[in-house]
């Protein structure tokens, strides 16, 4: 980040803006249709614009918070831990393995 260009998935703001705009248009359209109350009444453009603005800001803030909270996992977390470090060496069900699956057949174990 020394050269001023961010790295990783947060390089573009286009997707959150488009998502917020689409959600705001849907919210504005729904409020416009619902608040009118029928075909004989005047459309309530004021309520539709308020709903558009609120939905746009809320969606944009949520998308920004989710984008800021993104963090890559450490490399050691993808390697597995505990008994089964790799699925290729995992014992099959019913076969004795390293995980104590070799129970006694007499019912005491």
The answer to the question of residue 74 being in a domain is: no
The answer to the question of residue 93 being in a domain is: no
**pTM for the whole structure:** 0.57
DSSP 95: S
Number of domains in the chain: 1
Q: Environment class of residue 84 by beta-carbon count within 10 Å: exposed (0-12), middle (13-18) or buried (19+)?
A: middle
The per-residue pLDDT for range 3-39, each reduced to its tens digit, is 655 555 556 788 889 999 999 999 999 999 999 887 8
Alpha helices for the chain (secondary structure H): 14-36, 45-68
Contact 105, 54 (CB under 8 A): no
Centroid of chain to Cα 77: 20
**Residue of 57, 47, 69 whose CA lies nearest to 17:** 57
The per-residue pLDDT for range 49-93, each reduced to its tens digit, is 999 999 999 999 999 888 888 777 777 666 666 665 565 556 667
| Per-residue confidence (pLDDT) for residue 101, from 0 to 100 | 46
The answer to the question of residue 1 being in a domain is: no
Domain holding 24, by residue range, is 12-68
Work out the number of other CB atoms within 10 angstroms of the CB of residue 101: 12
């Amino acid at each position: 980040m020394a050269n001023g260009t961010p790295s990783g998935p947060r390089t573009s703001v286009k997707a959150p803006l488009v998502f917020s705009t689409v959600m705001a248009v849907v919210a504005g359209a729904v409020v416009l249709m619902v608040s009118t109350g029928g075909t004989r009444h005047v459309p309530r453009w004021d309520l539709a614009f308020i709903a558009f603005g609120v939905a746009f800001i809320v969606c944009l803030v949520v998308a920004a918070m989710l984008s800021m909270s993104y963090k890559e996992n450490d490399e050691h977390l993808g390697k597995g831990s505990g008994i089964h470090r790799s699925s290729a060496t995992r014992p099959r069900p019913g076969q004795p393995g390293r995980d104590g699956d070799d129970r006694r057949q007499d019912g005491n174990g």
